[in-house]
Amino acid sequence: MLDKLFYQEKGLFLQSLHPLAAMVYLGTLLVLSMAFTNPLYLVGLLLVVALAIWAADGLETWESYLKIGLSMMVLLMIINPLVTHAGKTIIWYGPRVPIFGRLTISLEAICYGAAMSVRLLDIISVFCLYNLIVNPDKALNLFSRFAGKSALVISLTTRMFPAMVRELETIRGVQQMRGVDFNKGSVKEKVKKYSSLINILLLSSLEESLEIAESMQARAFGSGPRSCYTRNLWRPRDVLCLSGSACALGVGIWGLLHGFGAYTYYPLMGYLINGTGTVVVLLIVLFGLSIPVILSWWWQYCHYLKSKI
């Protein structure tokens, strides 16, 4: 169940991108999600991320992230109107509360909480997409030439949790085949059963750490210049995706500097569409970020394009 939250190689287009191109694309999505405040831009970014997750065959995985994100969105939409009283369009007057004063709920506070909830969902979805398309080992390999030992430590650390989850599921299955039922018994008996799982997992982790150390010693780690078994190829698809990300980021920053992409919530809400520039900037940003998704679909159904990029 938890394996779905980690990277799984599926041979998809987005997974075949160079790690630098993929991380620039994800970084652009993350930066723009935090920079834009206009609800139209935030919803547009969420749509692009949803399409990218769909192209990465990760809708089922995204559902697990949505369960956490939606609960946090509801809390944010409830708490923000209660603690923020800056809006002028009051839609409800509540009783007086010590220290906080009189409770009031404004339309501006509700809209701001809703917009920030969408931004939070954007950020959570970007991290979900990262786990779907970026191989952790390839990503850390980019930084290994500058800090090889640090990259190795990070790689082993990020690998530890998913490996322990898989090992725990294996141990649990073996125990169940031996007649151990983890759903029956008193609380004390269940704690005893699960503590035995932890003990076995600890012993297994220690044995695996010794195997990793022996493997590093057999490969003469640290005895000379670092070598690389495989190299990431830079292909036309990476250029196209990197160009789309650069275009979206550049136009997005230009739009923010010229008043597009931002939105005023307090004390009174402004206009969602502030001239034609708002729509033009939004369309260019969404198109640039949609290039990997479009290429993914073409790559899947057009064999000629698959052979060219």
Residue 225 lies in a domain: no
Residue 111 lies in a domain: yes
Residue 227 lies in a domain: no
Residue 202 lies in a domain: yes
39 and 108 co-located in one domain:
yes
Domains of the chain: total: 2
Question: What's the pLDDT score for residue 292?
Answer: 94
Identify the domain boundary among 162, 194, 218. Answer: 218
Contact status, residue 118 vs residue 133, Cβ threshold 8 Å: no
129 and 32 co-located in one domain:
yes
Question: What's the pLDDT score for residue 304?
Answer: 75
% of the chain surpassing 90 pLDDT: 30
41 and 114 co-located in one domain:
yes
pTM above 0.85, yes or no: no
120 and 180 co-located in one domain:
no
34 and 83 co-located in one domain:
yes
124 and 143 co-located in one domain:
no
Q: Which of the two residues, 222 and 294, has the higher pLDDT score?
A: 294
159 and 272 co-located in one domain:
no
116 and 244 co-located in one domain:
yes
Residue 152 lies in a domain: yes
Question: What's the pLDDT score for residue 244?
Answer: 95
Give yes or no for residue 48 having a pLDDT over 60: yes
Residue 11 lies in a domain: yes
- What is the average pLDDT across 165-184? 81
**What six digits make up the tokens of 282?**
């939004």
- Residue 158: pLDDT band with limits 50, 70, 90: low
For 189-229, what is each residue's pLDDT tens digit? 778 888 888 888 888 888 888 888 888 788 777 777 766 66
Q: Which of the two residues, 96 and 49, has the higher pLDDT score?
A: 49
Give yes or no for residue 236 having a pLDDT over 60: yes
18 and 92 co-located in one domain:
yes
Residue 224 lies in a domain: no
For 92-120, what is each residue's pLDDT tens digit? 877 777 766 677 788 888 888 899 999 99
197 and 237 co-located in one domain:
no
154 and 212 co-located in one domain:
yes
Question: What's the pLDDT score for residue 257?
Answer: 92
Task: Classify residue 95 as exposed, middle or buried by CB count within 10 Å of its CB (0-12, 13-18, 19+).
Answer: exposed
Residue 10 lies in a domain: yes
What is the residue range of 124's domain? Answer: 2-135+233-308
123 and 257 co-located in one domain:
yes
Give yes or no for residue 15 having a pLDDT over 70: yes
- Residue 82: pLDDT band with limits 50, 70, 90: confident
